[in-house]
Amino acid sequence: MLSTIASFINAAIIQGIPLLFGSTGEIITEKSGNLNLGIPGIMYVGGISGIIGGYIYEHSVEKTVPIICILVSLCASLIGSALMSLIYAFLTQTLKANQNVTGLALTTFGVGVGNFFGGSLLKFFNESGSISLLDTGLAYKKALPFASKLGLFGNTFLSFGFLAYTAIIIAIVSSIILNKTRVGLNLRAIGENPATADAAGINVNRYKYLSTLIGGMIAGLGGLYFVMDYTAGAWTNNGFGDRGWLAIAIVIFALWKPKSAILSSFIFGGLYIICVYIPGLSSSSKEIIKMLPYLVTIIVLVVISARKKKEHQPPQSLGLTYFREER
Amino acid sequence: MNEKEKKTREPLFHIAKRPAIEWWKAWLIRGGAIIASLIVCAFIIVILTKQNPLEVYAAMVKGSFGTPRKFWAMLQNLAILLCISLAVTPAFKMKFWNLGAEGQVLFGGLCSMVLMFTVGDKIPNWMLIASMLAASVLGGILWGLFPAVLKAKWGTNESLFTLMMNYIAIQLVAFAIMVWVPSGSSVMGLVNSTTKAGWLPDLFGQKYLINILIVAVLTVVMFIYLKYSKHGYEISVVGESENTARYIGINVKKVIVRTMILSGALCGLAGFLLVSGTNHTISKELAGGNGFTAIMVSWLAKFNPLIMVLTSFLIAFLQKGAGEIATNFKLNTSIADILTGIIIFFIIGCEFFINYQIKSTKSKEGK
């Protein structure tokens, strides 16, 4: 029994990590007033860029070095998701386009890029079969050396690759920056009311661009974690599924707080796979259990809107385009 | 401020809102954007396939117009996409972000399928089809109504609510398939393939003609509804400014709920057309992403149902064309999503040049 619970918790955390990256990224973006619905697409691109980088490296050298495997794919992933975020920021900030439409188009585009290169990468290199980067996957999966010596505790909580811890650290750091520093205060001010922030001398454009860019790059790491650690360097088309949308749901569940996003992500990760751990479920009732994360999100959404507590509301200018001369 | 300081501080140009632009200039800009996007797409295709881009575009045209069969298949895709676009338009015009068309279509389709599967051979066919239609429309309404009522009552964020409803519909369909297909396979075959109970009949030997005609009529009706009816007027006032609407005595909550009922009903209809008229089966991918694409189709057409015929043609053409390129050059069909994305980026971006103008700071200052 204990070991089942332990393995469930372990699996919930593993499922939760990509969601945590995605939701932290989205929170940072939303705090500036940008509702980036392109996050699911950005996460796909983050994943496939990492795969492309790792693939090219693994195929250009005889013997791979783990740390370079990681560096190459990490950089490729960051560049990929940064470019995607730039498209969003340029369209919504500089060209003042509608955020929802831009975001949805970005998701269509990003999922397309992911699946296209996932399906055709090997053909470009005249190979067949499916993508699997064994060396890079192993490098990412390398756990803390002392984890296995700590028994059940170590196996449950310390057996992850380094990206998992990175996710938690990023969430905590962003929480501190948002709440304890001037930069965070400025960012929140812009999200609430860009005109006031502008009048106070804050460079609205720069903040919005940077927060979208940084948020997107963090979210992209979620895709990278998924393909490198979770599936150990293998790509399946649409394998990442709807996790990107789930990450956006967690932003609400966590009430726009990166610190709460940590636990929320693990809860959602758990709900995502709980059907495997409930004994005696028929395959049809499993499908019903899989509804849980979405149902929970809806309930939270309704409850926070009904209670109207000030500190639980989204940033006030969320989704609106700011144009200085408009009054 | 001395001269040097002025130079460094003042930017060379600033952006100002444009007064209304002539319609032909606006369409010239949009046309230019589409051409620019096609050029970018051509570059990408050339890099990926190393073929002459004109040949590739010729292949794309063949994908939609090559054979009568391909042409009808393209028209069918166009009709369904257009139907869903028409469905999201009234809500969208009201600034109600219905991202749940996917789920409303799916749940509507599921309602049809329940009847088709359970009472398929027990009642006369016309009665079956009529009740399937009613069930689908009601299903679509139900799926759109939850978010609408809560939005009207508490201001619940509708885009996230409707988005989550999609996945609930998806899981319900997955559940139904698991129950209905005894082998435990997640794929459902054709339903009533011998009796054809619940299948929309062929018209003049064309399988999809009924679908296409229904959507064509719907397009005209929706155009009139939005442009000339009182409801249509109320929708556009609520969309422009809720405060104005309240001030002139429009019951905003009622308009929100009523419009979402319409939106959900049309999505349900699309689900019915897909189940009864096109696929005769159901899967999780029934709506196939069209619920999201429809939002872009509607937005690109500036909520005008007649122009939506063109924009949904553009998307349907691209998808079929990209499918053709993919098979011809042995690429992945997702190239369609990439091209669609690029074209939409360009069209979204060009709106800026229609609504704003870039003024040089120097010329305004004079000498």
pLDDT of res. A148: 66
Between B122 and A243, the more confident residue is A243
What is the residue type of B21?
A: I
Secondary element (H or E) of residue B16? strand B13-17
Judge whether residue B94 has pLDDT over 80.
yes
Contact between chains at B156 and A323 (C-beta distance less than 8 A): no
Tokens standing for residue A94: 């500089």
Tokens standing for residue A195: 């005109």
pTM: 0.87
DSSP class per residue in A94-149: IS---HHHHHHHHHHHHHHHHHHHHHHHHHHTT--S--B-HHHHHHHHPPPTTGGG
Tokens standing for residue B36: 């620019």
When pLDDT is cut at 50, 70 and 90, the band that residue B2 belongs to is low
Nearest chain A alpha carbon to B356 = A95
Q: For A232, phi and psi rounded to 5 degrees?
A: 55, 50
Taking contacts as CB-CB distances below 8 angstroms, the residues of chain A near B289 are 108
Burial of B312 (C-beta count, 10 Å sphere; 0-12/13-18/19+): buried
Task: Identify the weakest region by mean pLDDT among A26-35, B291-300, B327-336.
Answer: B327-336
How far apart (Å, rounded) are the C-alpha atoms in residues B303 and B340?
Answer: 19
CA distance A175 to chain B (A): 23
Of all residues in chain A, the percent with pLDDT exceeding 70 is 95
CB A291 within 8 A of CB B167: yes
Of B165, B179, B348, which has the smallest distance from its Cβ to A101's Cβ?
A: B348
Task: Identify the weakest region by mean pLDDT among A117-126, A196-205, B272-281.
Answer: A117-126
How far apart (Å, rounded) are the C-alpha atoms in residues A119 and A105?
Answer: 21
Contact between chains at A91 and B348 (C-beta distance less than 8 A): yes
Yes or no: domain B76-328 corresponds to CATH 2.40.50: no
Nearest chain A alpha carbon to B183 = A283
Contact between chains at B352 and A294 (C-beta distance less than 8 A): no
pLDDT of res. B107: 93
For tokens 């606006």, what's the residue?
A: B26
Domain limits, chain B: 15-51+330-367, 76-328
CA distance B299 to chain A (A): 8
Tokens standing for residue B288: 């196939």
Taking contacts as CB-CB distances below 8 angstroms, the residues of chain A near B155 are 305
Between A137 and A223, the more confident residue is A223
How far apart (Å, rounded) are the C-alpha atoms in residues A249 and B195?
Answer: 44
Burial of A311 (C-beta count, 10 Å sphere; 0-12/13-18/19+): exposed
What is the residue type of B247?
A: Y
Between B39 and A313, the more confident residue is B39
pLDDT of res. B366: 43
Q: How far apart are the first and last CA of chain B?
A: 17
- What are the structural domains, with CATH classification, of chain A? 2-312 (1.10.3470)
Q: Across chain A, what does the average pLDDT equal?
A: 86
pLDDT of res. A82: 94
Nearest chain A alpha carbon to B353 = A95
Q: Does B33 touch chain A (CB under 8 A)?
A: no
CB B16 within 8 A of CB B356: yes
pLDDT, mean of residues A67-86: 91
CA distance B295 to chain A (A): 7
Nearest chain A alpha carbon to B288 = A108
Contact between chains at B296 and A104 (C-beta distance less than 8 A): yes
Which positions 13-32 of B are in contact with A (Cβ < 8 Å)? 15-17
Contact between chains at B348 and A98 (C-beta distance less than 8 A): yes
Contact between chains at B17 and A308 (C-beta distance less than 8 A): no
Beta strands in A114-271 (DSSP E): none
ipTM of the complex: 0.85
